Amino acid sequence: MCKPAIYPGTFDPVTFGHIDLIRRSLEIFPEIIVAVAENAHKKPLFTLEERVKLLKKAVEGMEGVSVESFKGLVVDFAHKKHLKVLIRGVRMFSDFEYELQMALTNRKLAADIETVYLMPQEGYSYLSSRLLKEAASLGADLTSFVPDFVAKPLIEKLKR
């Protein structure tokens, strides 16, 4: 029987690719905690509270999904929640190199926690929050990348 899992990330901002991965994760795991990392090193555009709020709206109606924030190591958060599986999305081969490095580091820190990789649907394989922020700053239409409730505040923040 599958146990609950954590899908950690910065989610700055949440995209249709993230939402797709959450939906497909629910086909494998009975519960998903979407764990929003503080991650000040990435200098997120949205505050931690804003990212949590946007994700909660994005997963409204998805039974078995909760959204929480965390600070520090994801393996420590997983231990705190008594969970043993981290879900990670891998879009391209270049993602895999970074994700493998992170998974092996996490394994060294917490051998009892496994990382499970999911590939996005082909239509989302190129999506990244970083590229969306750049495109938005140049006036791109974001309707096929993020929900409207994400696009509007994203564009507003980039105008400042």
- Residues in a beta bridge with 8: 35
Contact criterion met (CB below 8 Å) for 22 and 59: yes
Please classify residue 130 by burial: count the beta carbons closer than 10 Å to its beta carbon, then call 0-12 exposed, 13-18 middle and 19+ buried: exposed
d(CA 41, CA 35) in angstroms, rounded, equals 17
What's the gap between Cα 79 and its chain centre? 19
C-beta neighbour count of 139 within 10 angstroms: 9
Indicate the residue type of 142: L
* Catalytic residue numbers, as ranges: 18, 42, 91, 129
- Residues in a beta bridge with 117: 88
DSSP 92: S
d(CA 89, CA 156) in angstroms, rounded, equals 28
